[in-house]
């Protein structure tokens, strides 16, 4: 069953979990990040990270190093390290950008992080020991518009970026100061910094809202504003045009299935094999279920006053407004068993994907 | 500030074209012949409306840069749509593929914007309703986001 948590009535713009899901960091569409501690069934705010002067656009929690990186519309990024008294100490990272930062992600080894920006470039930042600061390097060409979403390949070098110029691209973010040359992947062999390894530009499909590498890194998925889910399987592209409102977030839950959610307020599961196939929704509520009891007197009363029998404004899904972001919470045997989604309705909902996966296996795709 | 020129021509210069930050949306225009008009007219004369509809949606001109061709095709599509009886619309929509449904939705919206006759709007509303039942919100969103307009 789903767990629903409410964090006020403001939209939750971004969220991230720590390594054992005992703590949660999220931002309520303002310039603060709240750290919440699980106490029983409730979430209690244990700390506030307030350093940004503009809206916080992205948060990521490094699960092994226990550092949080945040980026904001004030063109800054901060790396937060925890101290013994439970407070978090910020370190400013100079990104050298002249537009807002839109999204931020730690690399798998957490020795560097990438920031997507509205300045049509991606900043890849690594820590320089001798000067005790984070150095930002820029990836510019051939990005033509705001970078809305980024995701790292498991090899810690390749970076996928979706942007508003209708393209998904894979760049190399190889930083020779901190790592060794990577092994060849399905996306190419030579990976100097800022090399464009792959590009897929679909003008008809609209802005790219979200990108994601599959757990092995051989597949790349994206969600476009034209209500399209696209997959590139090492270069072979499949798309699925959907009949629902556009998705804002895609998340791989196994090597062959992904969950997408967005303006339709409902997470959908898709199975990826030789084609992309719809495999059911995580949210199976209907309108009648959420109605509650509507007594006869209430019905005639509202008919009389307002001309309509049913005046509830609730929609028939668990989320009452668009889903902004999803995150995988728990993995078991390379399958994400729990997934969280946050929305513009101020709700965070935890979904179990195990039952849907069981039915997927019986479909034998 | 002294007035150095008595002409005001400089005010008509589009300075935005010199702004380097502007998004450059350059792609090669694809040439397309558009649907075969004689074939469409023949199908209409032989009262085979569904065949006429499928023919007129072939060789889409959405990615072309020729406005006269696009307008000619658009007017032809409107003519085909208006010749259907109300009861036939649903079966005709059922025979279309998903791509054709999206393309026809684009024409319906253009028809709303530029009505070709006085009574085209109720006809288009009926087509819109039937196309929406098949294509859903996704087909409408694609009309809005697709930069290749009909």
pLDDT in tens, A252-276: 999 999 999 999 999 999 999 888 8
Closest CA to B128 of B146, B143, B149: B143
Alpha helices, H only, chain A: 287-291, 296-306, 354-363
- Residue of A227, A230, A242, A244 for testing the chain B interface, max B β-carbons within 10 Å: A227
Q: Are A261 and A355 within 8 A, CB to CB?
A: no
Cβ contact, residue pair B137, A205, below 8 Å: no
pLDDT in tens, B28-59: 667 777 888 888 888 888 888 888 888 888 88
Element (H, E) at A24: strand A23-27
Q: Are A341 and A348 within 8 A, CB to CB?
A: yes
pLDDT in tens, A207-250: 999 999 999 999 999 999 999 999 999 889 999 999 999 999 99
Using omega within 30 degrees of 0 as the cis cutoff, is the peptide bond preceding A142 cis? yes
Q: Are A145 and A165 within 8 A, CB to CB?
A: yes
Q: Taking residues A319-331, what's their average pLDDT? A: 93
Q: Which residues pair with A16 in a beta bridge?
A: A25
Nearest CA in chain B to A146: B23
The span from the CA of A169 to the CA of B95, in Å, is 37
pLDDT in tens, B92-140: 999 999 999 999 999 999 999 999 888 899 999 999 999 999 999 999 9
In the prediction, which pLDDT does B2 show? Answer: 59
- Residue of B93, B145, B146 for testing the chain A interface, max A β-carbons within 10 Å: B145
Considering only the beta carbons, identify the residue of B27, B138, B146 that sits closest to A243.
B138
Considering only the beta carbons, identify the residue of B23, B27, B146 that sits closest to A226.
B146
Nearest CA in chain B to A99: B21
Q: Are A256 and A273 within 8 A, CB to CB?
A: yes
- Residue of B61, B142, B148, B150 for testing the chain A interface, max A β-carbons within 10 Å: B142
CA distances A194 to A107, A215, A254, Å, are 15, 23, 28
Nearest CA in chain B to A225: B145
The span from the CA of B8 to the CA of A67, in Å, is 60
Q: Cα dihedral sign for A237, A238, A243, A247?
A: negative
- Contact residues on chain B for A206, CB-CB shorter than 8 A: 141-142, 145-146
Nearest CA in chain A to B101: A243
């Amino acid at each position: 069953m789903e767990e629903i948590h409410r964090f006020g009535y403001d939209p939750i713009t971004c969220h991230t979990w720590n390594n054992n899901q005992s703590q949660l960091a999220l931002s309520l569409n303002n310039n603060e990040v709240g750290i919440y501690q699980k106490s029983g069934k409730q979430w209690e705010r244990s700390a506030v990270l307030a350093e940004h002067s503009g809206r916080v656009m992205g948060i990521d929690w490094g699960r092994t190093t226990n550092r949080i990186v945040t980026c904001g519309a004030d063109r800054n990024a901060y790396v937060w390290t925890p101290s013994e008294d439970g407070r978090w100490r910020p370190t400013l990272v100079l990104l050298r950008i002249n537009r807002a930062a839109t999204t931020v992600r730690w690399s798998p080894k957490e020795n560097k992080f990438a920031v997507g920006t509205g300045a049509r470039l991606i900043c890849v930042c690594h820590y320089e020991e001798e000067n005790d600061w984070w150095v930002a390097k820029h990836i510019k060409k051939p990005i033509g518009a705001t970078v809305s979403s980024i995701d790292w390949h498991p090899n810690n070098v390749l970076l996928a970026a979706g942007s508003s110029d209708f393209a998904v691209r894979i760049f190399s973010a190889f930083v020779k100061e901190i790592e060794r040359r990577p092994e060849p992947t399905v996306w190419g062999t030579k990976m100097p910094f800022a090399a464009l390894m792959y590009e897929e530009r679909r003008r008809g499909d609209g802005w790219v809202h979200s990108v994601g590498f599959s757990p092995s890194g051989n597949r790349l998925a994206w969600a476009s504003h034209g209500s399209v889910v696209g997959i590139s399987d090492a270069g072979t592209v499949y798309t699925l045009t959907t009949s629902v409102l556009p998705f804002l977030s895609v998340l791989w839950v196994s090597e062959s299935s992904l969950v997408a959610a967005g303006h339709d307020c409902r997470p959908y599961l898709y199975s990826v094999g030789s084609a992309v196939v719809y495999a059911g929704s995580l949210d199976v509520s209907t309108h009648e279920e959420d109605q509650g009891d509507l007594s006869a007197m209430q019905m005639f009363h509202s008919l009389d006053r307002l001309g309509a029998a049913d005046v509830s404004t609730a929609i028939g899904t668990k989320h009452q407004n668009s889903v902004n972001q999803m995150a995988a919470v728990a993995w078991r045997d390379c399958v994400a068993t729990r997934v969280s989604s946050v929305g513009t309705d101020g709700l965070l909902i935890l979904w179990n994907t195990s039952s849907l996966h069981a039915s997927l296996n019986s479909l034998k795709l | 500030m002294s007035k150095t020129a008595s002409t005001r021509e400089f005010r008509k210069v589009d300075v935005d074209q010199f702004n380097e930050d502007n998004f450059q949306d350059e792609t090669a225009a694809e040439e397309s012949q558009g649907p075969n008009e004689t074939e469409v007219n023949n199908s209409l004369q032989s009262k085979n409306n569904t065949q006429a509809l499928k023919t007129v949606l072939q060789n889409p001109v959405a990615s072309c840069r020729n406005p006269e061709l696009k307008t000619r095709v658009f007017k032809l599509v409107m003519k085909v749509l208006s010749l259907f009886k109300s009861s036939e619309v649903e079966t005709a929509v059922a025979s279309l593929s998903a791509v054709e449904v999206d393309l026809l939705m684009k024409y319906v919206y253009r028809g709303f914007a530029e009505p070709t006759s006085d009574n085209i709007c109720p006809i288009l509303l009926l087509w819109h309703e039937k196309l929406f039942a098949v294509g859903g919100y996704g087909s409408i969103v694609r009309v809005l986001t697709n930069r290749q307009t009909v």
